[in-house]
Amino acid sequence: MGFNYKQLKDDLISCIDDMLGIENIPGCPCEELREKLSSNVFNLVILGQFKRGKTTLINALLGAEILPTGVVPLTSIPTIIEHGEALRIKVFFEDGRVKEIRPENLHLYVTEKGNPRNEKNVREVIITYPSGYLKDGVRLIDTPGVGSVYQHNTDVAYMYLPRSDAAIFMLSVDQPVSQSETEFLRDVREYADRIFFLLNKIDYVRDRHELNESIDFTKRTLMECMGSDIRLFPVSARLGLEGKLSGSEETIERSALPYFEDALNRFLMEEKARVLIHSVSNTLNRYLSQALLEIELEMRSLSTPVEELNRKIDLFKRKKDEVMRQKREFDILLDGEIKNIIDEAIDGDLSRFKEELTDRLLPEVERLFNENKGLSGRRLNKLLEEYVIDEVKNAYNNWRGREDGKISALFEQVCNRFAQRIDRIVDEILRFSSELFSIPIEIGSIGEVWSTGSGFYYKFKDEPVSLELLRSSLVFALPGFISNRMIIRKIREFLHEMIDKQGGRVRFDFLERLQRGKLDFRWKMLQRIEATIEGIESAIHKGIKERSRGEVAVDQRKRSCLEAINRINALRERIMGIQERLKG
């Protein structure tokens, strides 16, 4: 690694702290950038078919047996492990409840045996643990295996992949790549560049030759499937864990885990940490340049002849009107992009999903009906109704998770594009003013300031959209006696109705979230333009006002302006130093 991420991050945070102490730095979202740096984590999601050793790998990375592993399909609930002062476990339920549990009870929530078919309605479990590995900002996400009883892994993957920084896909030498694995991988092709493939359990293989064969074969299959080159690491998670627990270097070496750990670390540093440091330092630089320009403007207005000053102020006003027009355009274009997401992504996907769901559930309902014809009308009806409600609810919950990943990625793309647009407008204002008042200044390049890749504006609040209210509505409406034909007809109608209603609710929820995200984003962006204009105008007016107070005041003001310029320049140099070290 060419640079020390932690060190650079800390240095940058200290620059921000110093910036907060300078009064003349207008509009800089310092607190926000500070938070972004200090709370930054790299999300690492572990995916793969059941029994490949995903959970064992996590324990091996941590060097501690935190999560339960086993020979039968085990993990049934996404489990997140992040840094914390002590080992603490919180269970988040579908209905929004949260409960802290004791470590020895973890298996009662996250395993198929302790929580069969997720009867406890757990959404996810978050574990904090004081591990050095996590302290550097990695967050591990364990997932249920593909083909596990309760939830389809693709859904989980779609929930976490878009927001992950890197993903591990586990395979195992004792099992050839299966069809469900290749199908799954085709589905997630678009994330190929962040996936690491691990070929686990190499301790099973006796000789080198056999291992190489297995590696070659797996690699070929995977490349065919992903349509691109892939990173494949043979490892033994079990030996890795054993080695770390017993402190045996030799065992660790045999596990081959360090090769993978190094590669992963390099990837996170090069692809993720570098981008983060670069974008934050760039943003800071831009605000510092802007601050410099404003101070210089004030100095100019302290000494420029009034007539000339007024002429320039007039010219600036004209520029301002032009910018205001662009501001209105911004609104119209942004609305259009959001509408696109709604029409093409949400509505398109939803109608396809509804069709598929109907096609899948109708025959199931018929089958259930035929199997239970002997029941009394009321009981048969109740059985079918409950089946429909459960299936529709589950199907929508899964779909929503998947769709959410997609929508937040799309929304973020739009925000990024528009944020860059705003940056260009701001640049234009700054350049115009610097030329107008002949102040040579370097504004700095426009970076992808807002692309943190973690749903900055689009916050996914996972409130379950419940079908509770609709439950049993039909039972009460039924007459005392009903024929079976009537029941199946009613149930078919009920199925359509449920799919429609739930679809409507989920859609409403998506739209509302998008709308809120858009308003937040829009407000921030437009404010940025306004603050820039206002900063320039007020700098000029400050100078003019100061002038009316006489020569002594002007001199004094000039001195404090020069002082501020020096402090800002010093900060700029420190930040440039950080950028140099980043290049490594």
Contact residues for Mg ion, defined by CB under 5 A: 54-55, 74-75
Contact 352, 470 (CB under 8 A): no
Please give the Cα distance from 544 to 350 (Å, whole number). 60
Q: Quick check: 204 binds ligand GTP (CB under 6 A)? A: yes
| Span of 91-99, 201-209, 350-358, 363-371 interacting with ligand GTP by CB under 6 A | 201-209
Chosen from ligand GTP, Mg ion, none, partner binding at 237 (C-beta under 5 to 8 Å by type): ligand GTP
Question: Using CB under 6 A, which residues numbered 435 to 494 contact ligand GTP?
Answer: none
- Of the candidates 9, 66, 7, the residue with the CA atom closest to the CA atom of residue 41: 9
The residue number whose beta carbon is nearest to ligand GTP equals 145
Which CB sits closer to Mg ion, 74 or 525? 74
Please give the Cα distance from 257 to 168 (Å, whole number). 13
Please give the Cα distance from 435 to 42 (Å, whole number). 42
Output the smallest distance, CB 146 to ligand GTP, in A.
8
Q: Quick check: 244 binds ligand GTP (CB under 6 A)? A: no
Output the smallest distance, CB 142 to Mg ion, in A.
6
Please give the Cα distance from 563 to 186 (Å, whole number). 60
The HSE-up count of residue 388 (CA atoms within 13 Å, CB side) is 31
Output the smallest distance, CB 337 to ligand GTP, in A.
39
Which of 200, 281, 301, 397 is in the footprint of ligand GTP by CB under 6 A?
200
**Helix-strand-coil percent breakdown of the chain, rounded to 5?**
65, 10, 25
- CA geometry: angle at 405 spanning 276 and 339, to 5°? 100
Which CB sits closer to Mg ion, 51 or 522? 51
Q: Quick check: 106 binds ligand GTP (CB under 6 A)? A: no
Chosen from ligand GTP, Mg ion, none, partner binding at 131 (C-beta under 5 to 8 Å by type): none
Output the smallest distance, CB 406 to ligand GTP, in A.
25
Output the smallest distance, CB 209 to ligand GTP, in A.
19
Which CB sits closer to ligand GTP, 172 or 285? 172
Contact 576, 30 (CB under 8 A): no
Which CB sits closer to ligand GTP, 171 or 491? 171
Chosen from ligand GTP, Mg ion, none, partner binding at 203 (C-beta under 5 to 8 Å by type): ligand GTP
- CA geometry: angle at 188 spanning 345 and 499, to 5°? 45
Q: Quick check: 285 binds ligand GTP (CB under 6 A)? A: no
Q: Quick check: 74 binds ligand GTP (CB under 6 A)? A: yes
Separation of CA 401 from chain center:
13
- Which residues, at least 6 apart from 554, have a Cβ–Cβ distance to it below 8 Å? 302, 303, 546, 547
Residue 233 in tokens: 């690491």
Contact 130, 83 (CB under 8 A): yes
Output the smallest distance, CB 168 to ligand GTP, in A.
11
Output the smallest distance, CB 428 to ligand GTP, in A.
54
Residue 140's CB is within 10 A of a number of other CB atoms, namely 25
Please give the Cα distance from 380 to 241 (Å, whole number). 52
Which of 194, 238, 286, 572 is in the footprint of ligand GTP by CB under 6 A?
238
Please give the Cα distance from 258 to 244 (Å, whole number). 11
Chosen from Mg ion, ligand GTP, none, partner binding at 201 (C-beta under 5 to 8 Å by type): ligand GTP
Which CB sits closer to ligand GTP, 202 or 443? 202
Q: State the binding string over 363-382 for ligand GTP (x if CB under 6 A, else -).
A: --------------------
Please give the Cα distance from 246 to 221 (Å, whole number). 36
Which of 122, 161, 237, 341 is in the footprint of ligand GTP by CB under 6 A?
237
Contact 392, 357 (CB under 8 A): yes
- 337 burial (CB, 10 Å; 0-12 / 13-18 / 19+) is middle
Which CB sits closer to Mg ion, 24 or 75? 75
Binding-site size for ligand GTP (CB under 6 A) equals: 24
Output the smallest distance, CB 112 to ligand GTP, in A.
7
Question: Using CB under 6 A, which residues numbered 32 to 71 contact ligand GTP?
Answer: 48, 50-56, 69-71
- Which residues, at least 6 apart from 149, have a Cβ–Cβ distance to it below 8 Å? 73, 76, 112, 116, 117
Which CB sits closer to ligand GTP, 75 or 285? 75
Name the site residues for ligand GTP (rule: CB under 6 A). 48, 50-56, 69-71, 73-75, 144-145, 148, 200-201, 203-204, 236-238
